[in-house]
Amino acid sequence: MSDRTVVEAGPGAEPRANGRGILIAVMAFAVFSGTDALVKVLATGVSAPQVTFMVTLIALVALIAYAAATGQLRLLLPRHPRLAFLRALFLAADTILIHYAFSVLPLADAYLLAFLTPLLVALMGFVLLGERLSALAWIGVVVGFVGVAVALKPGLVVLNLGHLAALASAVFFALSLILLRRTKAQESDMALVASLLLVLTPVALAVAMTTGKVVPIDLTQMGLVILAGLLLLGGHALLVRAFRVGEASVVSASQYSQIIWGCVYGFVLFAAPIELHTLLGAAMIAVSGWLVLQ
């Protein structure tokens, strides 16, 4: 993880910067999907809140160890702590809410609402940051969301608190991405990731202790936890870099690619079939990514 920072691309970023930002973000969401897959494996024997805490703790320990080994411990401290920790709180709320939504909703319904984030970021970026999308880019954002709906085929169910939680999680995630773009250019990437993990770790522990389902784990599970923690750390590092390079309203559409990665991991790890509607949705998501860049 580099300690270098870049000046924010800001409104009207060059297409090359936006393209690089999207590429890095796609990599980030691929890594996040790998983390989700490992969490799913671990959750078969351990409660989800305990898994979240262990994975987050490993990520935090790994970041501190890396900073110590490279003589960059000072870079873990944010120069603008109010913005950094406010963003971390938004992400912590996002995590708690989406985990609750997953516990009471079909995954397709929860994901569909969670993937409102790119649309919300586009709107917030326009209102709060002055970022402007072309007509084709707006079409691309909408096409991407429709592609997600086609790929997931969410069911028709009565609205409940789970739906509200999933929607609120999308709002908090969108706010965290907007704050990431507002963060001062001299703030290090490591400080942004560290502040997030410092908030998420105790929050995850509190949720795990509240559920009262904390159990010991074996060596195999520990290995998966360590791998998931490293992936979580890498995913957040890549995501921070992506939103430092490109415009929030453009880069955020890369979140749709997580559906594709989820299908790949599902097929490889869980032998989940890839159906025609999934491929159609994935194709629409790919088209949306191209339109957003226009």
pTM for the predicted model, two decimal places: 0.79
The answer to whether 170 and 95 are in contact (CB under 8 A) is: no
Q: What percent of the chain has pLDDT over 90?
A: 25
Q: What is the pLDDT of residue 283?
A: 82
Q: What is the pLDDT of residue 45?
A: 84
| Residue keyed to tokens 């995913």 | 235
Compute the half-sphere exposure of residue 43: CA atoms within 13 Å on the CB side of its CA.
16
Distance separating alpha carbons of residues 105 and 255, to the nearest angstrom: 20
Q: What is the pLDDT of residue 9?
A: 41
Q: Which of 102, 106, 99 is nearest to 155 (CA)?
A: 106
Tens digits of residue pLDDT in 13-50: 455 688 899 999 999 999 988 888 888 788 788 887 88
The answer to whether 240 and 188 are in contact (CB under 8 A) is: no
Residue 184 predicted with pLDDT over 70: no
Q: Give the alpha-carbon dihedral of 237, 291, 275, 108, to 10 degrees.
A: 60
Q: What is the pLDDT of residue 157?
A: 56
